[in-house]
Amino acid sequence: MGMYRIGEPDPEVPSLTERLREHPIWYGLGCLLALLIPILSYLLTLWILNLNAEHRWFAIPPELLLREPLPLIGRVPPYTLLHLVMTLVIALLLFGFLSLVYAVLYRLFGGSPYLPFDAMD
């Protein structure tokens, strides 16, 4: 008991699960982003490759153009591996960018990382 709290009952300390519980909207938003970011990155890949065909911004390595059949799969379109690699890179960049934006917004508008019970004796 602290010396300035004579006769006052100790406040009830919330459990760890109560302190770390998130708002349910974040679960739906995370699920939506997990679905939308790969679709958006594939569409961005198609758009970038179409613009690259017009303007010749970068050369496409011949290793990313599949010309021979793959084992167990057979023949695939020639730009499939290029689409997969670019989609993965763009998706990782989008996930990283959104994580950075979320971290900045959480730091600006989020509450204090300390609760009133952390400073108690």
Please give the Cα distance from 121 to 118 (Å, whole number).
8
Predicted confidence band of residue 115 (pLDDT cuts 50, 70, 90): low
Spatial CA neighbour of 45 closest among 91, 101, 100: 91
- Domain assignment present for 47: yes
Residue 8, pLDDT above cutoff 80: no
- Domain assignment present for 14: no
The residue segments making up the domain with residue 29 are 22-109
User: Which of these ranges, 37-41, 53-57, 60-64, has the smallest mean pLDDT?
Assistant: 60-64
Residue bearing the bigger pLDDT, 98 or 15? 98
C-beta separation of 56 from 62 below 8 A: no
Q: How many domains, the chain?
A: 1
- Domain assignment present for 100: yes
Instruction: Supply the pTM of this predicted model.
Output: 0.69
- Domain assignment present for 9: no
